Amino acid sequence: MWPYPKIVAHRGGGSLAPENTLAAMRCGLARGFHAVEFDVMLARDGVPIVMHDPHLGRTVAGIGNVPDYTSQELTAMDAGAWFGAQFTGEPVPTYRQVFDFCVANGMWMNVEIKPAAGFEEETGRVVAELTRQWLQAERISSAAKMPLFSSFSFEAVMAAKQAAPDVPRGFLADVIPDDWQARLRALDAVALHTNQKHLSATAASAVKAAGYGLFCYTVNDPHRAREILSWGVDAFCTDRIDLIGADFS
């Protein structure tokens, strides 16, 4: 059974706010979303920050790669101006800030571990270890309230499993690989996360029949959303939080 919300705001506020910022989380919350997906990677000093691209240039000005900069440098960068003048000055948040915001506001988290190349094991381990400590401090342990880790990096999810076996995991794949069951078993994962574009009814049935949760990204068309839900998909994230509400069915 899928104990988490069905509709998840992608990168916090979908297409309505600058992705992976606290402004995005506030936007999702204001629209009634109590579930968010966001991307976490490590800064040079090993502090996890919330950002999608492993390089500067799109959501923050500058050149170079995220692992070249300390968390102090990254969190001083403007991650809002690219999206709209009203978001100018919105910083790159730390994972800790986003985690605290979600806990304080009762928002469920799909924490996508997004390691920069070469940092797969370290990112999975650090994110999981910190999450474990923070959950313990907040006394969060019920199944429905636990965050769900996911990553395109098998190595990162494996490291997360070793560091925090009690925090549930999903394996994320653009196209479901032939060996998906072996991978999910090896990770002791609860769910498969995959691109809705490549999903078929047959594949969805197979994942559900095997007893796993099935999560899709990124579903922006209500018709497609209804179709995949009818195939047994448990949950999906969306950028169109204006079109697909938190109570969508």
**Residues tagged active-site:** 10, 52
108 binds ligand G3P (CB under 6 A): no
Half-sphere exposure of residue 9: CA atoms within 13 angstroms, side-chain side? 33
In the complex, the residues that contact Mg ion under the rule CB under 5 A are 39, 112
104-107 contact pairs (CB < 8 A, 24+): 105/25, 105/29, 105/34, 106/34, 107/25, 107/28, 107/29, 107/33, 107/34, 107/35, 107/36
> Which of 116, 138 has the CB closer to ligand G3P?
116
Which of 70/224 has CB closer to ligand G3P?
A: 224
Cβ of residue 131: shortest distance to Mg ion, in angstroms? 16
Phi and psi based region of residue 78 (left: phi greater than 0; alpha: psi -120 to 50; beta: remaining): beta
Closer of 94 and 153 to ligand G3P (Cβ): 153
* Nearest to 101, CA basis, from 10, 34, 40: 34
| Radius of gyration of the chain from its Cα atoms, rounded to whole angstroms | 17
Report the candidate in 94, 171, 112, 165 with the shortest Cα–Cα distance to residue 135: 165
Of residues 26, 44, 52, 55, which one binds ligand G3P by CB under 6 A? 52
Q: How many residues bind ligand G3P (CB under 6 A)?
A: 10
39 is a site residue for ligand G3P (CB under 6 A): yes
CB atoms within 10 A of CB 68: 15
Q: Which of residues 180-199 bind ligand G3P (CB under 6 A)?
A: 193
Q: Out of Mg ion, ligand G3P, none, which partner does residue 150 contact, by CB within 5 to 8 A per kind?
A: ligand G3P
State in angstroms the smallest separation of the CB of 49 from ligand G3P. 15
Pick out residues in 148-167 that bind ligand G3P (CB under 6 A).
150
CB of 36 to Mg ion, least distance (A): 10
Crossing angle of helices 180-187/154-163, nearest 10°?
30
Could you say which of Mg ion, ligand G3P, none residue 19 binds, taking C-beta under 5 to 8 angstroms by partner kind? none
Q: Applying CB under 6 A, does 234 fall inside the site for ligand G3P? A: no
